[in-house]
Chain A
Amino acid sequence: MSSTPVTAAKAASGVASGRLDADAYAENFSDLHPLFEPHEALVEADRCYFCYDAPCVQACPTGIDIPMFIRQIATGNTLGSAETIFDANILGGMCARVCPTETLCEQACVRHEAEEKPVRIGRLQRYATDHAIREDVQFYERKDPTGKHVAVVGAGPAGLACAHALAREGHAVTLYDAKKKLGGLNEYGIAAYKTVDDFAQKEVDYILAIGGIELKAGVALGRDIHLATLQDDFDAVFLSLGMGGANDLDIKDADLGGVHDAIDFIADIRQAPDLSALPVGRSVVVIGGGMTAIDIASQVKRLGAEDVTIVYRRGAPDMKASEFEQHLAQTTGVRIKHWAIPKEIIGEGGRVRSIVFDYVAPDAGGALTPTGESFTLAADQVFKAIGQNFLEDALGSAGVALKRGRIAVDADRRTNLETVWAGGDCIEDGLDLTVAAVEDGKIAARAINAHLASGG
């Protein structure tokens, strides 16, 4: 990675765009794990032991038959391999790019136990799925129309997976999304270097090619449409709204210039036609410990910020971002500080200049209390990445039961309302992973299909 500003002027303090050479942006935001060459794929595929009741399959939230798809790659049946993957996970292409495989399938690989080098399942998965998507081979045909109509609200991974599965069964689906572009966080949230070349949109097109899915983009639940009406107009409704709200810092001056929600800036990065036009600070502080914190820090660093520090209130093992993600940020040059919480933002002329943190320690019950020591970090920009929340206003007064601020569901992802299901980040106990959202969509589609088949 090249991260050195070109000239002293470009390294100046404050917030500035174009800190790097044009080439550096392209390099810094290139594919994190490039597509395997055929030879690499064959060598890697050959490492799979074709385990019985394979632990990797157990570890995949969507239960992809991993040994089978790898064996299919090894035997030159790449399309068959892609089909095996899509059978379990129609977003297998995006999951291959964004899944924290080091804590999922690859963690469980027996080769991990044997020699600490798991089979690189994610990259093999990408090899197979990219092949099918590039060749535009469709494996599924819609069944005859059932005459049933389902509304899916939110076109992120959960909504797309559900819509595809329902369309396959012959139901008519209307897919709503508040945004103009579909894909949810695949399009607006995932780090740019994990999904290059507009893959998110290509995947959406590939999924929608099944047919039978009517799109309503730019239509928001709670604003343009209402749940009560959907309940009346459709045979079933699937809510996959994600988490639209960003948690706020509970301190003074959190609204100074230069203090941003990480999520918004990440979306800007993904949508920017020209990365050099994005202004970043020389000194940047990120508050949080999840994937969002890691991603904003890494990407701001790749945009030319000189000092980027993540400050997290607990220890490294507590971070929701995996060890691999933490290392990735650190090798990009991001510093991670632990056991500190923001105390005060200091501004000048309406803009942030620095931020003061208190060191904290957990008490017997695990609650954090200040130790009495503190430190100050210079900051031209501060990014808040302390979690998202579900915006329940969208549900209106339909009476959807919530649990811990998100939609309560049963094992079939059914809400308390007879014809309403929900999945993805907007439900309680969500794993907050793309792959988990896909599985929710799949489970809900199965349940909805059963409900509709039984005359519901």
Chain B
Amino acid sequence: MADLRSEFLGVKSPNPFWLASAPPTDRETNVVRAFKAGWGGVVWKTLGEDPHVVNVNGPRYGAIHSGDRRLIGFNNIELITDRPLETNLQEIKKVKRDWPDRAMIVSLMVPCEEESWKRILPLVEDTGADGIELNFGCPHGMSERGMGSAVGQVPDYVEMVARWCKAHTRMPVIVKLTPNITDIRHPARAAKKGGADAVSLINTINSIVGVDLDRMAPEPHTDGKGTHGGYCGPAVKPIAMNMVAEIARDPDTHGFPISGIGGITTWRDAAEFMALGAGNVQVCTAAMTYGFKIIEELTDGLSKWMDEKGYSSTDQFVGSAVPNITDWQYLNLNYIAKARIDQDLCIKCGRCHIVCEDTSHQAITNMVDGVRRFEVIDAECVGCNLCVSVCPVENCITMEHQTDGVDPRTGERYDKPYANWTTHPNNPNRVTEAAE
């Protein structure tokens, strides 16, 4: 049986699944329920200075659903904790005392002044918490007050605050990054430079999830008005994974610990984030969608998969996919794939045909000898994968690497050696020797 025990920045937890700083970690009751259910750790709902902020009393969440009302994207305009600092600190202390084997990280957001940080850090340390996470990510409400993503969007501030924190506490410092920025590598580098121990990402993405067409107001709205919120859930996973990978393969931050966040819903999502370099993962929306019980599937699924692959601990695969992420210009232009349709699995919906016909390369038949039949025409197929993407049957269409013979589309041999854009004749900046 695979060992799911996790150590992140020296903080131990029975599994690599933490609950992200959000409503699931807002108070003692919730966190105790989470620990009972089996979660490895929590990042407590972000604390701020007193007087505490208040939330709107109208709806704070919005969602995007698929046709069968499966929640695929989630949006919120909630602020940081809306309870007094002291209440939170007491609860954190009690829970950590009762659950010593679980990770207890405290998320913080205070004004961008050294004094503020200096004041709050000892109070947190006193709870016995294992570490802190700096919330530089929250895109709404707090950023207008010069906190949250307003700090996270300026690498110099990120570095400065990280440095203050390292100076005023012995606890490990995680910097939580906002995705509302053009190049995620800059704040990540700044965090590292400021002495932080890790980054976590992503926080939520600025969003409007819907418009109420009767009231002509964004959803959700309070008294007829709405504001942009923070987007999360399954829909943001690809964006989050790219950002994690960018940091993992940036020479400046390569190997810097990452806590992966964003749309993690199943064990597979978690494994993917970890393969891209995340040492552990945090979950919010999935818990808010299904409740805490999903931790059973997350841990069991991950452990079964690790057994199957022969991994005995998570560090054996963390970052394994990073070397295979490269820049487009280095992709092998002589690797040729053609779509293949398994006629036994084909249910004849014809979607591959119509999308290839209308929007790609007219490479799939709809009739063969007068009967409805979908076959790939190699002389037209560019191997784009569109048909695979739209086919409703799993594994019915696959991309097959061609190795023998000649491509009827180009007349080129299938077995030509590796060559990329850097040496391609159409590249005005080509070099003679391929860079790999």
Contacts and interface: CB of A to CB of B under 8 A. Distances in A.
Contact of A45 (B67, B349, B351, B354): B67
Contacts of A55: 348, 372
Contacts of A42: 67-69
Contacts of B69: 42-43
Contacts of A45: 67
B146 interface: no
Interface residues of B, number: 15
A114 B393 contact: yes
B347 A113 contact: yes
A247 B66 CA distance: 54
A43 to B, nearest CB: 5
A119 to B, nearest CB: 11
Interface string A37-60: 000001101100111111100000
Interface string B52-88: 0000000000000011110000000000000000000
A303 B354 CA distance: 52
A37 to B, nearest CB: 13
Interface string B351-368: 101100000000000100
B392 interface: yes
A110 interface: yes
A387 B36 CA distance: 70
Contact of B350 (A43, A53, A74, A113): A53
B347 A46 contact: no
Nearest to B66: A46
B67 A49 contact: no
Contacts of A51: 348-351
A113 B68 CA distance: 21
A49 B67 CA distance: 12
Contacts of B366: 52-53
Nearest to B392: A49
A46 B392 CA distance: 13
Nearest to B353: A52
Contacts of A114: 347, 392-393
Nearest to A67: B349
Contacts of B348: 51, 55, 110, 113
A52 B393 contact: no
Using C-beta atoms within 8 Å of the partner chain, give the interface range for chain A.
10 to 19
A52 B351 CA distance: 6
B351 A49 contact: yes
A111 B393 CA distance: 10
* Chain B contact residues: helix, strand, loop or mixed: loop
B362 to A, nearest CB: 13
Interface centre among A45, A51, A74, A111 (most CB of B within 10 A): A51
A112 to B, nearest CB: 9
Nearest to A112: B347
Given A52-B354, A55-B372, A110 B67 contact: no
Contacts of B353: 52
A73 to B, nearest CB: 10
Contacts of B347: 110-111, 113-114
Nearest to B354: A52
Nearest to A49: B349
Contacts of A52: 349-351, 353-354, 366
Contact of B349 (A43, A46, A74, A110): A110
A49 B354 CA distance: 12
A235 B354 CA distance: 45
A65 to B, nearest CB: 14
Interface centre among B347, B353, B393 (most CB of A within 10 A): B347
Interface in B202-231: none
Nearest to A71: B67
A169 B66 CA distance: 42
Interface in B357-397: 366, 372, 392-393
Query: Which of B66, B69, B350 has the largest number of chain A CB atoms within 10 A?
Result: B350
B68 A46 contact: yes
A259 to B, nearest CB: 49
Contacts of B66: 46
25 contacts: A42-B67, A42-B68, A43-B67, A43-B68, A45-B67, A49-B349, A49-B351, A49-B392, A50-B351, A51-B349, A51-B350, A52-B350, A52-B351, A52-B353, A52-B354, A53-B354, A53-B366, A54-B350, A55-B348, A110-B347, A110-B348, A111-B347, A113-B347, A113-B348, A114-B392
Interface of A: 42-43, 45-46, 49-55, 74, 110-111, 113-114
Given A43-B68, A113-B347, A114-B347, 16 more contacts: A43-B69, A45-B67, A49-B349, A49-B351, A50-B351, A51-B348, A51-B350, A52-B350, A52-B353, A52-B354, A53-B354, A55-B348, A110-B347, A111-B347, A113-B348, A114-B392
